Structure 1
Amino acid sequence: MLSYRKALWSLVIAANLAVASSVQAQYETAFPGAMQPFSDVNLENYDFQWFAPPITEQYGQDTIDPNTGIFFEYHRLFMNVSRAESAPGPWDGDATYGNRVDFGYMTDDNYGWLCSGWRLDGPSYDLVNRADFNSFEVNRTWRLDQFHQGFWIEPMIGMRFAQFNDKTTVVPEPVFVQNNMLMGQLGGRIFSQRGQWTLYSTVRGFGGQNWIFRGDIEDYSNGVVGGEFSLGCAYHITREITFDVAWQHMYFGTGIGRDPNFQDSDDMTFSGVAFGFTLNR
């Protein structure tokens, strides 16, 4: 019986490896080198003329090709952070500032990497809503062929680590509640350049495990799911430098530990405005 099981598992593993090899071969035909984790970035053909005049076409045409190579983005965030269900006015939220940095590259063969980091320094209201938030993600990205009217779509798949620290004082002694979330995610970016304007939107859905550490009770964990959405527009002041503004929204639907009085699962929302600049994207 043991020999039979070993033979059966050997056949299953061999079949899966064969299928995976076939799929990878077909995928490599459509996106050469896309399965290589660290592909070469072609800098030889990049002229680094950041201050060249912007490339524009008549509105409605689809002849402007998107940029390739290394890119960088910085945005200043002005966000509203929701309160815990146990806080006064749980339907309300509180304002805070933060920063967001995105960087990566896109090759001439239309695949690349995207890394993104968040930092929110607040809000800072002791008896209502005091917290901070950090997030970092790594995504493999692809660029599909151009769609009707000049729209481009860039699917992505990746991993995200996020940490939310709730330091709200609602009991005689402050209780520090730390959420450490490791999540997989799927998403994409859609954009179109019309003249000196680029219209864009991004969406991500994520889910994973949240390990919650506290000072007053035993640590515990929750499953966590959520999503992120942005909608913005950018103005090209040069060929590769843009200033842009966007509405940014992030939502955790379940799994967040916030209430310092008892073990619980809460939701959480960040929503607000991001404004900043982009280089070569």
Structure 2
Amino acid sequence: MLSNRKALWTLVIVANLAAASSVQAQYDTVYPAAMQPFTDVNLENYDFQWFAPPITEQYGQDTIDPNTGIFFEYHRLFMNVSRGHNVEGGFNGDATYGNRVDFGFMTEEDSGWLFSGWRLDGPAYDLVNRGDLNSFEGNRTWRLPQFYEGFWMEPMVGLRFTQFNDKTNPFIFMQNNMLLGQVGTRVFSHRGQWTLKSELRAFAGNNWVYRGDIGDYSNAVIGGEFALGAAYHLTREISIDVSWNTLYFGKGVGRDPIAIFDSQEMAVTGVAFGVTLNR
């Protein structure tokens, strides 16, 4: 039954995206690349030189142009996942590890796409805090004209699917399936061989909670994501970075398998280390 529900929601999402692409394509001649999903990326126009020396300027100058073309990021996550309110030590958290991959592109017309996937393998503390998290999102992005002192802003609007499986109770499996609409922005600035960056997202949607044979229900979900970090450019298009990330659900997460229509908050926060190509 659960696999049928997932397949149905996948078909609904794909159908809506396809319909939106067809309806909005007519606006492409007025607003080039603004409304047409998956704008063609002409790789021949992008001068990828992975090991070229980094472009540097003195602090305060704003002559470094941001990269365009395809980009890729990988991060290793060291996160803390809050406990459910129904267990001892509620509001505390427990450590776990995971991975995050971001990829997409930005055209020379200052529009593009960003896709991001999370996977946390824990926490893994029996009877206290056990579970795993998967999240995938797709965002339409734009790049605004440069701000004062070389700051750039990239607004985004998109769709996120997040699944959190709470396995704290060994007899009753709690699965949260959250379909969320979101808006956000990325702000960054190049300073010599450094890039300072921050990301902010706000999301809301619905959570379908499945819990064995006891009975399923749904909750409204609201929350957001925040990240603040810095990257050091080893070459023109390769950098290593570190950031602080927080994913927060203000309400709507089911974690108590006994309570009726359980709706809790949950926070996932910690450090990410990784490598970035052409972003």
Mapped to 1, the partners of 2:37 and 2:47 lie a distance apart of 25
The two structures have a TM-score, normalised by structure 1, of: 0.88
Question: Which ranges of structure 1 fall in alignment gaps of 5 or more residues?
Answer: 1-19
In the TM superposition, what is the alpha-carbon distance from 1:28 to its structure 2 partner? Answer: 5.9
Secondary structure in structure 1 of the residue aligned to 2:59: coil
The answer to whether structure 1 residue 98 and structure 2 residue 95 are counterparts is no
Q: Which residue of 1 aligns with 2:204?
A: 207
Once residues 99 and 128 of structure 1 are traced to their aligned partners in structure 2, the CA distance between those partners, rounded to angstroms, is 23
Q: How many residues align?
A: 255
Q: Which residue of 2 aligns with 1:13?
A: none
Where does residue 268 of structure 1 map in the other structure?
A: 266
Instruction: Give the one of 173, 182, 187 matched to 1:185.
Output: 182
Offset at residue 47 of structure 1 (A): 2.5
Q: How does 1:227-246 map to 2 (within 5 A)?
A: 227-246=224-243
Distance in 2 of aligned mates of 1:34 and 1:225: 27
**Whole-Å separation in 2 of the counterparts to 1:28 and 1:118:** 36
Is 1:33 the counterpart of 2:30? The answer is no
- SS of corresponding position for 2:43: coil
Distance 1:202 1:237, change over 3 A: same
What's 2:7 paired with?
none
TM-score for the superposition, normalised by structure 2:
0.89
Give yes or no for contact 1:28–1:34 (8 Å, CA) kept in 2: no
Percent identity, aligned pairs only, is 71
CA contact (8 A) 1:78 1:274 kept: yes
By how many angstroms is 1:257 displaced?
A: 0.3
**Mapping of 1:48-127 within 5 angstroms?**
48-127=48-127
Match for 2:221: what amino acid? V
- Residue type at the aligned position of 1:269: A
- After TM superposition, where is structure 1 displaced by more than 4 Å over at least 4 residues in a row? none
2:83 partner amino acid: R
Q: Which of these two proteins has the greater Rg computed from alpha carbons?
A: 1
Deviations 1:149-188 (A, max 9, x none): 000000000000000000002xxx5210000010100001
1:218 aligns with 2:215: yes
Report the Cα offset of residue 216 of structure 1. 3.9
Instruction: Provide the residue aligned with 2:173 in structure 1.
Output: 176
2:248 pairs with one of 230, 248, 251: 251
Q: Deviations over 1:100-144 (max 9, x none)?
A: 000000000000000000000000001100010000000000000
Of 40-49 and 178-187, more deviation after overlay is shown by 40-49
Distance 1:174 1:226 in 2: 29
Amino acid at match of 2:158: G
| Cα-Cα RMSD | 1.5
Contact residue 28 and residue 35 of structure 1 kept, 8 A: no
